[in-house]
């Protein structure tokens, strides 16, 4: 079967099962093409609340599907590949953060949305990479514990030196391994290109960028810019999608290694199998996100706070 034929079957099954497919921008082109909504983690969590579909099939990683479930608990939410987890989301232990909170009760706990629902229950407010700086700035509190990404947290801290921002050792294994030498090499190869980086990269790397921002921030910047060439310092799919959207510009992935293995676990056959499972086929496997009402009520408080503060 060709990719196009499989996509046709998926489009038909989506209609038959009343399912909306949400795909993070780090997903492969053939998945983004059959999705109802695509974008960064914040946009998708809001899109999940907008759809009238009965079911949501998430192509991304586990915490994103959990967030969609918390914001739309009346819907059935499925993750297209049950093994797709974000390693950063698992890095901090709920009890350890609860203890830290007890020892410093005046410190506001700000959690990157890349965290488990369990951990969110002990956090005060969530942020995404597109909203982190704005939300931390807007908080009344000047004492903050930012978890789990010390690179994103460090990038915010640099821009708001007046706030006391405590960081812990955590981060994204895909972005944090990018080196200054790789940036220098890419610059030598493409001297006319602007370098755009995600704030999950280490500070020495983001310091070299002409623009630092979230997945959608990088895409918007590149589309609006008068410049014709860009080195993309985030997951390689972003360079691929940009190249497709802006054929008259040139996009170079910073390195071929900037691939999130977890995001790339999801394949088009996974999407098809999940939809077959939702349709009731006993031989197909649809992985549903199941959460208790208590966990949803407790964990979504910090997501509601993020939305209240304007994403």
- Can you give the binding site for ligand 13P, defined by CB under 6 A? 40-41, 86, 114, 128-129, 172, 200, 214-215
Say which DSSP state 273 is in: H
Binding window for ligand SF4 (CB under 6 A); candidates: 67-75, 86-94, 187-195, 274-282: 86-94
61 scored as a contact of ligand SF4 (CB under 6 A): yes
Nearest distance in Å: CB 91, ligand SF4: 10
Phi, psi (deg, nearest 5) at residue 167:
-120, 155
Instruction: Closer to ligand 13P by CB, 17 or 174: give it.
Output: 174
Can you tell me which of 48, 59, 201, 260 binds ligand SF4, judged by CB under 6 A? 260
Name the binder of 121 from ligand SF4, ligand 13P, none, CB < 5-8 A by kind: none
**Strand residues in 140-273 grouped as ranges (E):** 143-147, 164-167, 194-197, 211-212, 229-233, 250-253
The token pair at 260 is 């999130």
Q: Could you say which of ligand 13P, ligand SF4, none residue 262 binds, taking C-beta under 5 to 8 angstroms by partner kind?
A: ligand SF4
Nearer to ligand 13P, 24 or 300 (CB): 24
Residue 9 burial (CB count, 10 A)? 16
Q: Which does 115 bind (CB under 5 to 8 A by kind): ligand 13P, ligand SF4, none?
A: none
Closest approach, Cβ 53 to ligand SF4, in A, equals: 24
91 binds, among ligand 13P, ligand SF4, none (CB under 5 to 8 A by kind): none
Residue 189 has a CB neighbour count (10 Å cut-off) of 10
**Long-range contacts, 280-288 (Cβ 8 Å, 24+):** 285/82, 286/78, 287/78, 287/79, 287/80, 287/81, 287/82, 288/76, 288/77, 288/78
Q: Which CB sits closer to ligand 13P, 176 or 208?
A: 176
87 binds, among ligand 13P, ligand SF4, none (CB under 5 to 8 A by kind): ligand SF4
SS3 76: strand
Q: Does 172 bind ligand SF4 (CB under 6 A)?
A: yes
- Strands 164-167, 143-147: pairing is parallel
Which one of 67, 174, 214, 237 is in contact with ligand SF4 (CB under 6 A)? 174
* Residues 141-157: b if buried by 16+ CB within 10 A, e if exposed: eeebbbbbbbbbbbbbb
57 three-class SS: strand
Cα 36 from chain centroid (whole Å): 17
Q: Which does 133 bind (CB under 5 to 8 A by kind): ligand SF4, ligand 13P, none?
A: none
Where does this chain bind ligand SF4 (CB under 6 A)? 61, 86-88, 114, 172-175, 235, 260, 262-263
């Amino acid at each position: 079967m060709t990719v196009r034929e499989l996509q046709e079957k998926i489009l038909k099954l989506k209609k038959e099962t009343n399912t909306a497919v949400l795909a993070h921008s780090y997903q492969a082109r053939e998945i983004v093409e059959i999705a109802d909504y695509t974008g960064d983690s914040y946009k998708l969590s809001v899109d999940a609340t907008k759809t009238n579909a009965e079911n949501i099939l998430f192509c991304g990683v586990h915490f994103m599907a959990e967030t969609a479930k918390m914001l739309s608990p009346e819907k059935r939410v499925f993750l297209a590949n049950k093994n797709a987890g974000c390693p950063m989301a698992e890095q901090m232990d709920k009890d350890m953060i609860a203890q830290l909170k007890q020892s410093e009760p005046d410190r506001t706990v700000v959690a990157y949305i890349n965290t488990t629902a369990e951990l969110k229950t002990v956090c005060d407010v969530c942020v995404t990479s597109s909203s982190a700086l704005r939300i931390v700035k807007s908080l009344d509190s000047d004492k903050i514990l930012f978890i789990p990404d010390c690179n994103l947290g460090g990038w915010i801290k640099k821009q708001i030196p007046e706030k006391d921002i405590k960081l812990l050792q955590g981060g994204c294994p895909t972005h944090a391994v990018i080196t200054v030498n790789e940036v220098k090499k890419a610059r030598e190869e493409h001297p006319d290109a602007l370098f755009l980086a995600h704030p999950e990269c280490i500070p020495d790397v983001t310091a070299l960028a002409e623009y630092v921002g979230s997945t959608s921030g990088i895409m918007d910047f590149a589309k609006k810019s008068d410049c014709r060439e860009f080195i993309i310092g985030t997951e390689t799919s972003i360079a691929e999608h940009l190249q497709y959207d802006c054929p008259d510009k040139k996009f170079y992935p910073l390195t071929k290694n900037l691939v999130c293995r977890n995001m790339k676990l999801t394949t088009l056959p996974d999407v098809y199998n999940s939809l077959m499972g939702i349709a009731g086929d006993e031989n197909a496997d649809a992985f549903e996100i199941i959460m208790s009402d208590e966990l949803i009520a407790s964990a979504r408080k910090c997501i509601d706070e993020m939305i209240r503060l304007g994403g």
